[in-house]
Amino acid sequence: MKGQHGLRDVSERGSFSGKIGFIMATAGSAVGLGNIWRFPTMAASHGGGAFLLAYIIIVVVFGLAMVCTEIALGRMTRKSPIDAYGTLRPRAKIIGVLSTLVPALIYPYYCVVGGWIIGYLGYYLAGSDCIGIFGDFSGSYLAVLTTIVFISIVGIIVYLGVDRGIEKLSTIFMPVFLILLVILVVYVLFQPGSMGGMEYFLLPDLSHVDASVFTSALGQAFFSLSLAMGITITYGSYMKKQDSIQRSSMTVIVIDSAIAILAGLLIVPIAYNAFGESMPSGAGLVFVALPEIFTGMPGGTLVAIFFFIMLFIAAVTSAVSILEAVVSTIIDRFHATRHRAVLFVTLPTLVVGTLISLGFGPLDWINIAGKGLLDLFDFASNTVLMPVVALLMCIFIGHVIGPKVITDEIESSGGFSLKRIYPILIKWVFPVFLAIILVTGVLGI
């Protein structure tokens, strides 16, 4: 059925059953490893409270404008990224292609990390303390197996569809995630010596504040809100016409930021006690440093199990959104069934995921400019492509179709408080910042 503007009506596509489903799934995508292993250390090392303030301002202005923009693009066209852009201007399809490439590159290595999480959960449940096992485990065939298990779980959920799979998963898992996180934070707060880390995380230290605070905060906001990856466009295409875009976006942003801050309250105090100001981040934090700290805590095994369940939820809901962005594109482009599209992405992912996993063992000789396979995928997707896509998107909206197309869609179902400054932001302010992020990221400054 053709709807307004000759665009397809929502009834032909899957759709979220309502506002809550949409919000939970979008928040599930946003809340991921970035909130837990990236944000806390980044905030702590960039001036604590000062970074938090910068981050909140950035998220409320940039984040809100960008999330609303992507949802509007998806909802007005009812298409996945390539066709969403293509419907507006045929030549703009290339932006959709590039933005689908971002999740396609992220997906295999995200699954490898997901596999590690499953492995650690298994080890803890089997009674291991997981100290010093990372090197051997990540290079083993067992890690390949857990990667395959993770890919299969995500594949099954996406295969089940938008309302039966993705929405159900998120509406059950996200509250569980939050409860576990709060329990862990409260526990850590009552540990002796947690105040030092807490102060380091929350009190502003202006001596650490420089221009990089803003660019790092912006880069983090993009990654954390799953922007410029086609994901929010895809989820927006499943949103009901009558739901307020601004209100849903704001809720997702508040959930994502609150969880990042809560994760900081959990991670920073324990890591600060052990490492002082040079605390690790990423895989080194989660798979190497934290297990050592957990072991020294009373009830440490239980804390570790809670922690890795939480991490699993964060990883799986984000991975589902990544796969959905690619799958929905294939369904739209090639009129494939969901079943076929999931298989079509999952099979190569199994191969690439296996290779990346083996990059920590038998294939660890593959190394370009000091980067192993996983880091190469991460660099290509997050440091290079993501800012390029975001930049192209802003230029396209600001200078080709005009900001009004987006603000009209947002206002068709509610208010848009950034309306007055939106044109300036999308035409000039965002592109300048994104260009800086791109250049400094690529040059490694």
The residues binding ligand PFF (CB under 6 A) are 29-30, 32-35, 103, 106, 223-224, 226, 229, 231, 318, 321-322
Q: Whats the size of the chain, residue-wise?
A: 445
Taking the complex as a whole, how short is the minimal distance between the CB of residue 349 and ligand PFF, in angstroms? 13
Closer Cβ to ligand PFF, 391 or 398, answer by number:
391
Closer Cβ to ligand PFF, 71 or 231, answer by number:
231
Taking the complex as a whole, how short is the minimal distance between the CB of residue 402 and ligand PFF, in angstroms? 28
Cα separations (Å) of 105 from 31, 189, 295, 374, 381? Answer: 19, 38, 35, 10, 6
Closer Cβ to ligand PFF, 92 or 389, answer by number:
389
Closer Cβ to ligand PFF, 87 or 224, answer by number:
224
Nearest-angstrom CA–CA distance, 58 and 71: 19
Nearest-angstrom CA–CA distance, 278 and 364: 27
Taking the complex as a whole, how short is the minimal distance between the CB of residue 253 and ligand PFF, in angstroms? 12
Nearest-angstrom CA–CA distance, 182 and 266: 9
Closer Cβ to ligand PFF, 170 or 226, answer by number:
226
- For residue 280, with 0-12 CB atoms within 10 Å meaning exposed, 13-18 middle and 19 or more buried, which class applies? middle
Question: Is-contact 119 312, C-beta < 8 A?
Answer: no
Nearest-angstrom CA–CA distance, 79 and 87: 9
Q: What is the CA radius of gyration of the chain?
A: 21
Contacts of 213 (CB under 8 A, 6+ apart): 46, 47, 50, 51, 54
Closer Cβ to ligand PFF, 224 or 407, answer by number:
224
